[in-house]
């Protein structure tokens, strides 16, 4: 196991609720980063899972001692609460928030740190569909294109730890668009917010397939539009 006498450059916080089928792929994507592994750490927050999520994480840590992965528990449900819990344990100067059903491109950590070292306090990450389905890919392409054109920082993000806590972290009342809310408050407080466009996060499209006849696409789009307008973000988890 590598020595870890210094503080990690970045802490990757992954909330996970019943994600035994996906969490290992997320962890593998951290393992594949083009950045020294001894300067990374991962905090997986088990958010009340009743499947084998924790067992999968523990097995991964035994197989890959070269990457520091810590498993913590947050029994009270809520993705915002789980992310804040992970941030409390993080030692890195930068916090990167990743969903358990998503994967980082190998250059993402390097890209995030380059942006923040240039003076940005937080960055919104480019998210693409982890799918070969043309409609799935088109949906995420359109959402990303619109976000970057109108400069609305949404979806996954990374932020200096001191800035994260200066604005109060994630609003634990929110279950959707919590990233947007956090970045909006960071920008409102006068901190510069940027966009990582040269690397990507690949995310599962399973939410787009919750209903037949592609109604999931419409429902997801409507849910996000309402959330950006401040409607429904605090509906039950």
Please name the residues in contact with 225: beta carbons below 8 A apart, sequence gap of 6 or more. Answer: none
Domain ranges of the chain: 10-228
For the entire predicted model, the pTM comes to 0.84
Specify the DSSP element, H or E, that contains 11: strand 10-16
Contact 23, 49 (CB under 8 A): no
Average pLDDT of the residues in 198-217: 68
Average pLDDT of the residues in 227-235: 52
Average pLDDT of the residues in 84-89: 98
Confidence label for 156 from pLDDT (cuts 50, 70 and 90)? confident
- DSSP codes joined into one string, 113-153: HHHHHTT-SEEEEEEEESS--HHHHHHHHHHHHHHHHHT--
Spell out the long-range contacts of 218-223 with Cβ–Cβ below 8 A and sequence spacing 24 or more: 220/139, 221/139, 221/143, 223/176
CATH superfamily, region 10-228: Spore Coat Polysaccharide Biosynthesis Protein SpsA; Chain A (3.90.550.10)
């Amino acid at each position: 196991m590598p020595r870890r006498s210094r503080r990690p450059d970045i802490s990757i916080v992954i909330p996970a609720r019943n994600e035994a089928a996906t969490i290992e792929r997320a962890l593998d994507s951290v393992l594949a980063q083009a950045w020294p592994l001894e300067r990374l750490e991962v905090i997986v927050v088990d958010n009340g899972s009743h499947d084998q999520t924790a067992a999968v994480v523990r097995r991964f840590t035994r197989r890959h001692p070269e990457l520091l992965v810590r498993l913590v528990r947050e029994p009270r449900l809520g993705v915002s609460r789980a992310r804040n819990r992970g941030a409390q344990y993080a030692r890195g100067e930068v916090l990167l928030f990743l969903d358990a059903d998503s994967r980082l491109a190998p250059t993402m950590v390097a890209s995030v740190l380059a942006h923040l070292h240039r003076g940005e306090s937080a960055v919104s990450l480019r998210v693409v569909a982890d799918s070969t389905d043309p409609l799935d890919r088109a949906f995420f392409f359109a959402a990303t294109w619109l976000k970057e054109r109108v400069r609305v920082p949404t979806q996954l993000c990374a932020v200096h730890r001191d800035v994260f806590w200066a604005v109060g972290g994630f609003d634990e009342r929110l279950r959707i668009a919590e990233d947007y809310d956090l970045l909006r408050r960071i920008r409102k407080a006068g901190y510069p917010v940027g966009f990582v466009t040269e690397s990507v996060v690949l995310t599962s499209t399973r939410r787009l397939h919750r209903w037949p006849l592609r109604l999931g696409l419409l429902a997801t789009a409507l849910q996000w539009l309402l959330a950006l307008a401040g409607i429904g973000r605090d509906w039950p988890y």
